[in-house]
Amino acid sequence: MKNKSTAVICISFACFLSACAFSNKHENTDSAVEAVKNGQYEEALTMLDNAIEAGEDPELLYRVKGIAEMELASYENATEDLLRSLSANRGYVKEQDRDTSYYLAVAQYRSGDYEGAKSTYSAIIGLYPQEFDAFLQRGKTELRLGETDNALQDFNRAVELNPTDPDLFIQIYECLNAVGMKDEGDKYLKDAMEISTKLTDLQKGKLYYCLGEYEQAKNSLESARNANAKGGVMLYLGRTYEALGDTNYAASLYRAYLEEDPTDVEICNQLGLCCLDMGDYDGARASFEQGLAVPDNEYVQTLEYNRIIAYEYLSDFTKASALMKEYLKNYPDDSAAQRENKFLSTR
């Protein structure tokens, strides 16, 4: 694996635990695993320092250390430690190394090292050429690098490997739409509609929403909501009501859901955007900050930028400028932020 880059993949902690079935010779690392499981990340790092001093298995302890650092959004340190874990396998590739490599790619991506993430996903593909998720994530990373042709090739390969999963088509559409390639994304939506396997109401609702068929989307998503009102349903249902012009009702859906799950960062962000539309700028700021309080969250950049906009609407230009300076240190290539910073400099 090379140094740095990332993309978003969810790897279950249960899988992480099973891969780290330690013996009694790894007491400090075992304790660190439990600490990470309980959200005690700083404590876990202290235990892992003790593990290093005790000479415990470096492959395991640096893997746990990297994961704990990711939870603390210390992505560059996580990258270094996950690389240490992989280099400690002495050339013998195990199943655990695949998971570690995925974590590494996420850490690299979130630290802004897209070339490194691409390299890591390429290494995974080299060992596991049927891994459709690696093609999907490499495609997302290539979009960040402006390599649209390569991204489309990887998306097409992901679809070839997993042709009956409509959620995969939707993910690809969302990636392409986010970088202004909606026409290319629409092709994937149309292909998803033709999948012979039965679509769930949620999948239908997502597809109708993305295709701009909002009444059909509302009907399907309301049916899905009655069956299971999870975040994915509420996010798209709220967006659908926003598209139909009922922003107030959409905001009420988001608020009700966040009372049950205050850590859903995507809904925090969407509620904040709703509040901006309704002129509730302090509510928007609070929603963005609620999302930012959630650790190891892939929406940090979006939430940070939107929080700056909320402070601008609140006419707190001093705070907005200070946050923008910090934002541009972390994301210096964000052209929209650069333009916004010029505006702030005139206030």
Residue 118 is encoded by which pair of tokens? 């691409």
Residue 196: its pLDDT value, please? Answer: 56
Rounded to whole angstroms, how far apart are CA atoms 183 and 210? 11
Residue 61 is encoded by which pair of tokens? 């302890």
Chain-wide mean pLDDT for the chain? 88
Is the pLDDT score of 9 beyond 60? no
Q: What are phi and psi of 317, to 5 degrees?
A: -75, -25
Residue 93: its pLDDT value, please? Answer: 63
Packing angle between helix 95-110 and helix 132-144, nearest 10 degrees?
20
Rounded to whole angstroms, how far apart are CA atoms 123 and 96? 14
The per-residue pLDDT for range 99-109, each reduced to its tens digit, is 999 999 999 99
Is the pLDDT score of 187 beyond 50? yes
Residue 227: its pLDDT value, please? Answer: 76
Evaluate whether 11 touches 102 at the Cβ level (below 8 Å). Answer: yes
Is the pLDDT score of 23 beyond 70? no
DSSP run (H or E) holding 159: helix 148-161
The distance in angstroms from the start CA to the end CA of the chain is 46
DSSP state of 198: P
pLDDT category at 265 given cuts 50, 70, 90 is very high
pLDDT category at 263 given cuts 50, 70, 90 is very high
Specify the pTM: 0.77
Rounded to whole angstroms, how far apart are CA atoms 298 and 82? 18
Rounded to whole angstroms, how far apart are CA atoms 335 and 331? 9
Contacts 24+ apart (CB under 8 A), 313-321: 313/276, 313/281, 313/284, 314/281, 314/282, 314/285, 317/344, 317/347, 320/344, 321/345, 321/347
Residue 91: its pLDDT value, please? Answer: 63
Domains belonging to the chain, first-starting first, are 1-113 (1.25.40.10), 129-197 (1.25.40.10), 272-347 (1.25.40.10)
Is the pLDDT score of 117 beyond 80? yes
Fill in the amino acid letter for 305: Y
Rounded to whole angstroms, how far apart are CA atoms 104 and 66? 8
The per-residue pLDDT for range 28-63, each reduced to its tens digit, is 999 999 999 988 999 999 999 999 999 999 999 999
Q: What are phi and psi of 328, to 5 degrees?
A: -70, -25
The per-residue pLDDT for range 305-342, each reduced to its tens digit, is 999 999 999 999 999 999 999 999 888 878 888 899 88
DSSP 101-137: HHHHHHHHHHTT-HHHHHHHHHHHHHH-TT-HHHHHH
